[in-house]
Amino acid sequence: MTKSQYIFIAAFGSFALLAGAFLFQFLGYAPCKMCLWQRYPHAVAIVLGILALMLTRFQTQLALLGALAALTTGGIGVYHTGVERGLWEGPTSCTGGGALNLADPLSTDIAPIVMCDDVVWSLMGLSMASYNALISLVLLGLWIAAARR
């Protein structure tokens, strides 16, 4: 496989994961704060992939940055999975019982906080965060393979 093919597959993988996240959101699965954190590196990887395919002279450098983006979202996914499984604490703003609106405690117009430690969807015992982590590690390998070509 060529460097450009590896880059295309890796960037498309991030696109597919991001599209899947938006599909789940459309279907009613609201994202938590850490879910949103995992989306940003995928968006960066997509842009890096497009740039690398257009600017072939800088493909190696852009592929290394793509690998860093995949490692970042994968790391956040591992952290999020640990929070979901109770292995460590997550951000206080989206774990436990949620935050009380002290500015207006009697307000009835409060948007529900999506808890980061709740698994709202799983398949074969793995949550969306877990799948993001695993697939992102595969994408990391593709970006590294592209950089080494």
Count helices and strands (H / E) in the chain.
4, 2
pTM of the model: 0.87
Q: Summarize pLDDT for 63-109 with one digit per residue, the tens.
A: 999 999 999 999 999 999 999 999 999 998 888 755 544 555 555 55
Domain locations in the chain as residue ranges: 3-95+114-148
- Return the SS3 of 121: coil
Helix axes 128-148, 59-84, angle to 10 degrees: 160
Q: Summarize pLDDT for 97-146 with one digit per residue, the tens.
A: 555 445 555 555 555 678 999 998 999 999 999 999 999 999 999 999 99
Measured CA to CA, the distance from residue 9 to residue 111 in angstroms comes to 38
DSSP 96: T
- Residue 63's H or E segment, with its range, is helix 59-84
Residue 127: strand pairing partners? 122
